[in-house]
Amino acid sequence: MDNDTSGFLLLEFSTIWEIRIMYVTLLLILYIMTVTGNLLIITLVASDHHLHTPMYFFLMNLAMQDIGPVSVIVPNTVFNSLMNIRTISHSGCFAQVLCFGFFLSSDVSLLTVMAYDRYIAICNPLQYEMIMNRKACTKMIVSVWTASLLNTTLQTVFTFITPFCSNIINQFFCEIPHLLKIICYDSYITEIGAVWFSVSLTLCCFVFIIGTYVKIFYAVLRMPSVQGRKKAFSTCLPHLIVFSIFIFIGSFAYLRSMSGSPSHLDFIITIMYSIIPPMMNPLIYSMRNKDIKVALSRLFGQKSSHFKNV
């Protein structure tokens, strides 16, 4: 097929209208929950000066990045399903792959930076404010965005410069693993070439985070105060949970052998790695976080008092 003019045919949830509505309703509920939770985190951190610290600055950026991947795939998928549209242009598919990959790559990089932040806070607390100053945090975020964009652009361009022998994608949105299945030459070689650089970066991030937490746990266990150990663990646990969910679900989704024909299991797995982690992150970080709970009560307390005065 001609890559310059031809589009792609995406996966249809079902030919039965009622089943399509069921899928669309599920996607919309998950999307609204994800966007609402992350917008709440962004609002709390931006409006409460008590949360203007490096840890919550990175958390706010994580929330912004978590809104990205679901916004790239869900609204378009819902519209296509309701309008019974299965086609996507070549340029539209390219843009979707680039944006979706960028946000996922940014999440991995940012979680690595957040691990470094916890390492400095626990293992080198006396120099924390000097090392993790505003300028340094801003540079880290810019580096995360830049590295993620370069990484994703390389993968996306490498994938789309190859000719495709089919235009049927067994997925309800464009993503690299499914595109690699329809190229014209040996898909195994292409998969290795396209994914190797990204896997290497992810592996480096994974090794860095594991090594960082080995040092963190060693430092925490040496603390004489039980209360101090509990506080240190409580600040690290949410990050570890988020990282574990992201890595294990993502690895399972991308490293498993994809079947030639779509199935309901494929849909569930796609939901698990593309929507569930961004939806869970606000809950995980706020569940046992006293600062978030206090900021939340302060925010809604101000709003309720404002309405009473009005």
| pLDDT digit string, tens, across residues 62-114 | 999 999 999 999 999 889 888 888 899 999 999 999 999 899 889 889 989 99
Q: Is residue 194 part of a domain?
A: yes
Residue 186 lies in a domain: yes
As a whole number, mean pLDDT of residues 223-243 equals: 80
Q: What's residue 308's pLDDT?
A: 47
Considering only the C-alpha atoms of the chain, give the largest distance between any 2 of them, rounded to a whole number of Å: 69
Q: Are the C-beta atoms of 97 and 174 separated by less than 8 Å?
A: yes
- Residue 16 counted as domain residue: yes
What are φ and ψ of residue 62, in 5° steps? -65, -40
247 inside domain: yes
On whether the CB atoms of residues 243 and 111 are closer than 8 A, the answer is yes
Domain interval for residue 273: 8-304
| CATH number of the domain to which 299 belongs | 1.20.1070.10
* Distance, CA of 258 to CA of 266 (rounded, Å): 8
Q: Which pLDDT score is estimated for 30? A: 92
pLDDT exceeds 80 at position 2? no
Strands (E), the chain: 8-9, 87-88
307 has a pLDDT exceeding 50: no
Examine residue 269 and state whether it is found in any structural domain, yes or no.
Answer: yes
Q: How many domains does the chain have?
A: 1
In a domain, 253, yes or no: yes
- Asked whether residue 1 carries a pLDDT value surpassing 60, the answer given is no
What global pTM score does this model have? Answer: 0.85
Q: What is the token pair recorded at 100?
A: 């979706």
Alpha helices in 48-126 (DSSP H): 54-82, 90-123
Average pLDDT over all residues of the chain? 82
- Asked if residue 2 is part of any domain, the answer here is no
Could you give phi then psi for residue 168, rounded to 5 degrees?
Answer: -95, 115
Q: Tell me the two tokens of residue 232.
A: 């240190």
Q: Report pLDDT digits (tens) over 193-202.
A: 656 777 777 7
* pLDDT reading at 169 higher than 90: no
pLDDT band at residue 260 using 50, 70 and 90 as cut-offs: low
Least reliable range by pLDDT among 21-25, 189-193, 195-199: 189-193
The answer to whether residue 309 sits within a structural domain is no
What is the spatial distance between Cα 42 and Cα 245, in angstroms, rounded to a whole number?
21
The one-character DSSP state at 168 is B
The predicted structure's pLDDT at residue 168: 87
